[in-house]
Structures are given as structure tokens and as C-alpha cells.
Amino acid sequence: MDYSCFNYELKGHVAHVILSRGKEFNTMTKAFWSELPHLIDDIANNGDARVILLSAQGKHFCAGMDLANFSEGEIKKDRIDANLGRKMKPLTGLLKIFNTPSAVLKKLECL
């Protein structure tokens, strides 16, 4: 699968995932949220990666959610996607793990 928001390469047992929309500050668009689970599944199904290294092109790692996702016609102001919380739960847990100092040290020791 070709990704519009990510570049991906596997070197040894390290899967390097690169946010590739640096000119747009790597904002998280609908395509980002659509592609990310497919990319992670591809990495998991390959079976060779032992670690995922996440980096970004451009000046900023990520500017957050692309506000265009919330424009009129895309998502109604009075309606929230009921599945959003369910979709975000695995990523939220992953981010909590990566934000602990011991996880950072373990990541560095593995590289």
C-alpha cells in the first residue's frame, strides 16, 4: 500500500516510520488516521520488526490535528464520531508508554 502521510522502511529489525508531510507540519488528517492502522498492521504482519522508530520530516514533528478535519460539511459541530474514542484508545495507550522515562531509555538501549 502507498501512504500519503508516511514513509516506511525496515532495516534489520527496526521499522522506521517517518511522518512525511513536513511542509504541512505533519498535521494529522483523515488520511493519517486511515493509513496509520494499515501501516502498523503491515509491520506486525511482516514479523521482522522488533521496534518501531517514529520520526518526522520537516521543522516540526507534528502540529497535531489538522483543523480542516473539523470544517463544516466534514463533521457537524453538534455531532461527534461515536467511534473516535474506540479508534484512539490503542494509540493513547501507546503514547503513554512512550512518554515514560524508562521506555525512552529502553528505546535508546535497543538502538
Sorted by sequence, the CB contacts under 8 Å of residue 62 that are 6+ apart come out as 19, 25, 26, 27, 28, 56
**What integer pLDDT is reported at residue 96 of this predicted model?**
58
**What integer pLDDT is reported at residue 89 of this predicted model?**
61
Together in a domain, 43 and 74: yes
Q: Measured at the alpha carbon of residue 89, what is the angle toward residues 86 and 95, in degrees to the nearest 5?
A: 160
Number of domains in the chain: 2
**What integer pLDDT is reported at residue 24 of this predicted model?**
92
Together in a domain, 65 and 102: no
Together in a domain, 74 and 90: no
**What integer pLDDT is reported at residue 104 of this predicted model?**
47
Grid cell of 47 as nine digits: 514479523
pTM greater than 0.75: no
| Average pLDDT per consecutive 10 residues, the chain (111 residues; last block may be shorter) | 92 93 92 90 88 92 83 50 59 56 48 46
Q: Whole domain around residue 30: which residue ranges?
A: 6-79
